[in-house]
Amino acid sequence: MAGDRESVEEQCDRAFSHADNRAVGMEPTYSGALSFMRRRYSKDFRAADVDVVVSGVPFDLGTTNRPGARFGPRGVREASAQLAWGRHWPWPFDAFEHVGVIDWGDVFFESGNPQEMLGKVEAHAEAILAAGKSLLTLGGDHFVTLPLLRAHARHHGRLSLIHFDAHTDTYEESGRYDHGNMFRHAASEGLIDPERSVQIGIRTDYARENHGFTVLDADWVQNHPLQASIDTIHEKVGDNRAYLSFDIDCLDPSCAPGTGTPVVGGLTTNQALQILRSFVDVRLVGMDLVEVAPVYDVGAITALAGAHLAMDYLCVRAAQKLAGSGVAPA
């Protein structure tokens, strides 16, 4: 009977009962402790069986419109419980058998202190990268990508940016640092190379002259076969190391209403997923999923889309590992 009791315990609360960081298993979607994809909560990112560290950055003081993305990490973790029951469509494997993933929890910083957030997130990312691991970060508003890029570029060199968004986030704002201009700062700091970067799903105005980045606007994506978007991204990025930043407002509000600055006329969730799944041969060094704001959501579809996109990223990493491709620790 002792054995029975043990097996029952192992079927619940895998966020703290998983035996190791590659363990797989099912648990009721509607109960138990919530972590991203029921991964183990652990601060030990240096463990040998860890490949990817999931962290939350519950920050939304960089928003220019509606706040609420500070609840994004919690919302995405909760939605991900609906996906944590085995092989993730359409991949022919269970990613967690191949890629060790922990949920580190949320980065702590004083609320009301954006400067502290910048330092804490950058230091957190640097420590993980120095340990030879990679990051999957849940925002937070899009401003959190700036400290992440600072750490990634220091470790990996100047990066290609693969950026899904309704907005270019390169707006000219004299002296301002917020979620609408951090990619302008990232380019001027030399963290990313606009000439080898692509922005997908854009449908708000931007300074087209001297913009530098390749833009696949939402209409262009809709009016061409999806393979054309995929080919352009692969062509621009080539064999450069690439950071993937996914602002959930890239998706149409019918797919992702739960975000601070929704813009009609966007991509469907499925279009974005198909593009993301094509990145198995792209040298991805990390990903963030930002701007999920559960308070504006309907039936948690935005958080679910975010969880799905993040999970497909992990499947891409698993496929790379199986193929022996991807990026070795620098």
Q: Which is nearer to Mn ion, 83 or 166 (CB)?
A: 166
How many CB atoms are closer than 10 A to CB 192? 25
Q: Closest separation between CB of residue 183 and Mn ion, Å? A: 8
What are φ and ψ of residue 65, in 5° steps?
-120, -115
Q: How far apart are the first and last CA of the chain?
A: 49
d(Cα 72, Cα 69) in Å, to the nearest integer? 5
Pairing state between β 52-57 and 101-106 = parallel
Residue in 40, 77, 133, 142 binding Mn ion, rule: CB under 5 A: 142
d(Cα 310, Cα 306) in Å, to the nearest integer? 6
Residue 249 binds to Mn ion (criterion: CB under 5 A): yes
Q: Which is nearer to Mn ion, 142 or 308 (CB)?
A: 142
d(Cα 29, Cα 78) in Å, to the nearest integer? 9
DSSP assignment of 64-86: SS---GGGHHHHHHHHHGGG-SS
Q: Dihedral sign, CA of 224, 230, 235, 240?
A: positive
Residue in 79, 166, 216, 242 binding Mn ion, rule: CB under 5 A: 166
d(Cα 11, Cα 139) in Å, to the nearest integer? 29
Residue 247 binds to Mn ion (criterion: CB under 5 A): yes
Q: Which is nearer to Mn ion, 275 or 315 (CB)?
A: 275
Site string for Mn ion, 93-132 (x = CB under 5 A): ----------------------------------------
Q: Closest separation between CB of residue 176 and Mn ion, Å? A: 15
Residue 169 binds to Mn ion (criterion: CB under 5 A): yes
Site string for Mn ion, 15-54 (x = CB under 5 A): ----------------------------------------
Residue in 165, 178, 193, 288 binding Mn ion, rule: CB under 5 A: 165
Q: Closest separation between CB of residue 121 and Mn ion, Å? A: 16
Residue 178 binds to Mn ion (criterion: CB under 5 A): no
Q: What residues line the site for Mn ion (CB under 5 A)?
A: 142, 165-167, 169, 247, 249
